[in-house]
Every structure is written in structure tokens, then in C-alpha cells.
Amino acid sequence: MAPNGRDEMQPAPVIKTDKPFLDALNGIAADRPPVWFMRQAGRYLPEYRELRAAKGGFLEMAFDPDTACEITMQPIRRFDLDAAIIFSDILTVPMALGQHLEFVQGEGPKLGELNISALNYSNFTRLNEVYHAITATKDKLKAEGHNATALIGFCGAPWTVATYMIEGGSSRDFMKSKRMMIEQPQAMSSLMNILVEASATYLINQINAGAEAVQIFDSWAGVLDSENFKRWCIKPTQQIVELVRAAHPHVPIIGFPKGAGQNSLKYAQSTGITAIGIDHTLPTEWAARTLQPVLPVQGNLDPAYLLAGGDPMIMAAEQILGDLKNGAYVFNLGHGVNKETPPENVEALVNFVKGR
């Protein structure tokens, strides 16, 4: 027996908090599932579009702590969600490592030529603005009475971030990235190692600044075969989890391997994450049977239902809530909010999930 009277082999008891989102991630069943949405801040909100027009561009907003805080708060004020996610982007890491980044309106991200051996930490202090935004948002949530709302930090998973760095932006078939992975595995490995270390540092700093949970977005996990999924999605994610846990053993880490299908099980078992995000292509009854016994699940309404609204949205949400009701669960979409989504639909869905 340990001096505190507990058997040393027993994990510390999980203590219920005043935040349903954190409780669900810790495996504590709540009266109702907590709810938040990926990309809950953004262009579908008129108050976001107004700020964007005033500030000029996405990066100008993301790297201005007051503005990033304000945008993070916008959906919380409207919908009183159980979690806020800091307004930033997964591509801030390559930028902080010295690769040129710009967002061309209507075209998405554009990155400069990738030179792996030139990546370095001399611009990493630019991310301090993100940490300041997190601290400001944590204070703001409290000041505005959102005491049950948790603040999420995030990063992209190395594979997903690497695809943007290699392709120079978004891609249809990821052929440049896959060719590099197959023809130059050493170079790919070096890039991954850099991203593992930088992403873990970034997450640890976000937690130091006040993030209460973190999510690792692997948006393009679904384009790899099982062997490459193990090597380039599971392994680097597992390495990040290990580094973050060493610094912050109790902060929940959500992994979101979008499109991973049946590979999600191996991911859930081997990465060490606290909870898994699932996209809408994964059957919820499979997730309930296969993933939920392993860890809490988050997801997975198709954002198209949120866009459409009305009875079809409510019925689809009801089915998901029913399928996942017997385990630890966080309601979310299967991917980000679409920019044409009427805010009224978001309000109706949140009210439904909250049982109002």
C-alpha cells in the first residue's frame, strides 16, 4: 500500500469537475452528452465576417490575441457550448518553423517551397500570440460566466500538416506526399520527427497558457493504407501523446483520425490518446461496439445535416445520440461546420442535444 492508503497500481480516481466536456473525456457519464463543433467559429457567423472584413485576413486575426479571443467567444455567446476551441490554424506550426504561409481568399492556404533542412525554431516565438489568446480566452470565459465551458487547444497531426508542407497547399490526391513517403522515407521521417517535436512543444505551451484539453487533427489520415497509417499517423501521434503526457499527465488528448475507418481501432489502442473523434463515414453502432469500450468517442453528425437543418438534422442527431448513449461520449460533427450553415440551425441542434 502507498502512504496515502491506495494500492500503488490503482490509477488515481477521476474526480468530477464542473465541466461536462472534461468529465466525458475522463469517462464520467453525464446527464446529457456535452456538445461543441469543429470549426464552430468562422465564416457562417455574420459577426466573424464583419471582423474579418475589418482586420483584412485570417492570419492577421489569428495572430492578434484580442481578435482571436473575440472570435473564439462568438459561438460561445450565441450557443453556450460545452467547449470553446481557440481560434487558430494547424498551419501555424509550419509557419513557425520558417515555411512561408499565406491564405488567399477563396483559394485556401498557400505554402512556400519546402526545404526540410532549413526548418528551424527561430520564428517559433510567433506562436506566443496563440498562447496569449488562450490565456485571454480563459479569462474571458470566466468573466462572462461560462464556467462550465472548457477551452480546447489543438494542433494538426504530423501526417496532415506534412501534406500541406509538401503539396504547398490543399491537395486532391496527395501524390507528392505519398511519393515522398515511398521514395524518400528517410526525408519523410526527418520531417515527421521535426513535426512531432514542434507539435508537442506547441501543445504543451498551449496547456501552460490555459488549454484544458487538446485535439490533434489528422484530417487526411484516411488517404493512407493500413501499413502507412501505422507508420505515419499512429506512430507520430503516439510520440506526441508521450511528450505531452510527460509534461501534463492529466490533460485529456483527443485524436481525430478523419477517414480512418476500421484503422481507428488500432489508433485508439496504440496512440495513448484519451478520446477519439470519429467522422460521419464511420457507423456509430460500430463505434459504440468497438471504440467506446476502449475510450470515449466524439462525433459524428455529417455537417450537411447541420447545413440543411430541420427534422432531418434532428432525426440524424437522435440516431447518433441513441447509438452512443451507453458509453462516454461528446456530441460533435463528423467534420467542420460548413460556411453556408444558418446559425439558427446550430442553435436548434445545440438545444436538442441539451434537451431543451
Active site (annotated) includes residue 43: yes
Active site (annotated) includes residue 89: yes
Measured from the CB of residue 2, what is the shortest distance to ligand CP3 in angstroms?
Answer: 40
Measured from the CB of residue 57, what is the shortest distance to ligand CP3 in angstroms?
Answer: 8
* Catalytic residue, candidates 32, 43, 78, 231: 43
Of the pair 6, 126, the CB lying nearest ligand CP3 is at: 126
Of the pair 37, 329, the CB lying nearest ligand CP3 is at: 37
Measured from the CB of residue 198, what is the shortest distance to ligand CP3 in angstroms?
Answer: 16
* Catalytic residue, candidates 23, 82, 89, 323: 89
Could you tell me which of 260, 215, 213 has the C-alpha nearest to residue 234? Answer: 260
Active site (annotated) includes residue 48: no
Of the pair 108, 322, the CB lying nearest ligand CP3 is at: 108
* Catalytic residue, candidates 44, 48, 131, 164: 164
Of the pair 163, 288, the CB lying nearest ligand CP3 is at: 163
Measured from the CB of residue 38, what is the shortest distance to ligand CP3 in angstroms?
Answer: 5
Q: Which residues contact ligand CP3 (rule: CB under 6 A)? A: 38-43, 52, 58, 85, 87-91, 103, 108-109, 154, 170, 217, 219, 336
* Catalytic residue, candidates 52, 218, 302, 329: 52
Of the pair 23, 89, the CB lying nearest ligand CP3 is at: 89
Query: 336: left (phi > 0), else alpha (psi -120 to 50), else beta?
Result: beta
Active site (annotated) includes residue 121: no
Measured from the CB of residue 336, what is the shortest distance to ligand CP3 in angstroms?
Answer: 4
Measured from the CB of residue 183, what is the shortest distance to ligand CP3 in angstroms?
Answer: 24
* Catalytic residue, candidates 32, 39, 231, 245: 39
Of the pair 52, 138, the CB lying nearest ligand CP3 is at: 52
* Residues known to be catalytic: 39, 43, 52, 89, 164
